Chain A
């Protein structure tokens, strides 16, 4: 490997050719401030438009200051990262950015988690010269069902564009207009709702300021909790327990399942249930559908569509409705766990309680912003009453816990309520990429072969690689499995399927890099992707610690089928647990 030698702040260093000054300095322990720059190393995502100029350094012999995030090291370079000239330039840049930024930090939803605020503190900005005559750009606010755009707070770092276009290939956002008038916006500056946005929320996850935030439903949840005529149920998604602790200063990857259940009970939910239960139920339906399609395919039925695609991720559903609307019969018809939970809660469980569905309020805690949109979809309503009333993010739950004066860290562990709180390890791993298909394999194998699984851990299905594939031996029948996380990877895989280049029987797709653990509603990682890896390890730890690890062994799932649904894919199950998809967009008529 070719290397170069240089000096940074009077210290010599040798780095591989092509290393940036910023990274070389970092390896010396010199922490050059960056704002627009973002490196999600484990996901192979880098944003370095060199737009903000906060990271400038002085390079001997160079006329102007160099942006260290995007300037490569050269042999013999002499770099200074904190000269008076550099510090003054950095301050001026910051003052200019702040001169066109609203000063409502006290009431901003991002306050306390804002990279711009942190930078102002770090650089010790105490006043903004010329503020009284500086012009402020103003732009309409955009409220979608999941995401709020407040472009006045945008600093044009382009991180959201990198996520939306390069990583997710959704193409909802682009920089438009020019100079002072430039903003990041959807085509024709329409609202997000009219764009191909999937509400995956990856833009929100990386936005350094309050320009992109989630729609906050906590006030509605609190109102429901204080309504004596309502019975309020809560369900928590698998990925939440692996990340919620971060909001309370705990190490990334700390499992807080028991504390979370305790906190939800203290908040006042009448029943603390688990989406993992519905994940087990999803496996029963989706696994049966997979086996049904597979059997028919092997028997030579030409009408059967393979591969079967998972359908638990609402961002992914939005994506294929927009981009693969010629293949709407390929994904599984199984609803997502969130929606299966809502449908069962407001039928089976309501009957058990002797209550009408209108008397129940179902709240979901999700690592996801697309879930907010999903629960509002018309097909998930019954007489205008939604199966899931409100979906709030991991971040919103953390905020609720704090505002209810609960000392989260010191809470003693509690368990979920029964019946809809019981789950197996298979339900837990839904939170990580590859988990849904691994859970499906654990059940489908035993149902298909009638034999117990020789092993439970399918490590070949796990990992952070964007596209993965494996062949699982179903007692002599090879089943080809594909996995993609991140919508850009999903697109590559789906294009291969459409072109007949791939031969898969089943494919799992998650919209967010890493799966739900990297969802748009999770605690902000601030560019540190090792946090997502730590959450993934936590998910598999939780699975390994469970007594039951196969969905079909969940006793309450068995009871649900015995008492209510009959068997998987029965008429009742079809009615309550399956859905259909809609064509969106008009791209096809223009080609």
Chain B
């Protein structure tokens, strides 16, 4: 057969990359399940089913071989990431709408894997947040607060598929409270808040640490480079350090708080690193990550939404080609070190 060189190939394949991402999200999922109940798992499983169904539908309509494309696990990754971002105990139709929008519109309408300019999971999340703000901000009370019983499997399934029959007890997240606060010193605020854990919200801090572990493992496996996540975390920490005045009522929260709250670690290692929608060169990724971190802080503290990872990422997805244009690496022989 006539084939072009090279004839040897490295060990990595797209399916393996996707599988590695899924495995890396496990520690975070475990932490979330522990603190918020099995609703997380039900979310994920239902989202995965819907995702596979939507992807199969889209592939059939586009006349592609379904088995081959489903095998690359990219739909599963999108579904898992979206499900993690949604409140546990979300109704089944909420997840359906979100996942269907992500897969069908934000991914396949643009041409399928590799062709979408915007992160599909984040597009789905934002659509849901804007269309169903009440359901999307109904976070359950985490375990460890007072005498909460996190839902068991059956309760979780019921919450998902028969939502009207359950009365969930929800509670504002620490980020919500921080935003609404304008009178108390932060230390006092946290003393008052039962859902404040050691460094940030109960459950949230451990979930973030879980995602951090997963992300470090992905770095070790060289699934992505350190530039984007490190830039994002650094810039977020820097911004919050600059504007942290010791915890006054107008303060935006300490750097540690921001690091371990909401979707910070999850965003840093699973959303910002999405290769399809980020900048192309390593220098570009530094800029991309840094600006995301900046935007997250700005929107969290002065914007209308408590958590801002999704919006920041989508805004920077817009800017990625522009960043690419200005951050081309210096090619060999073009003004590199010439002795």
A and B assemble together: no
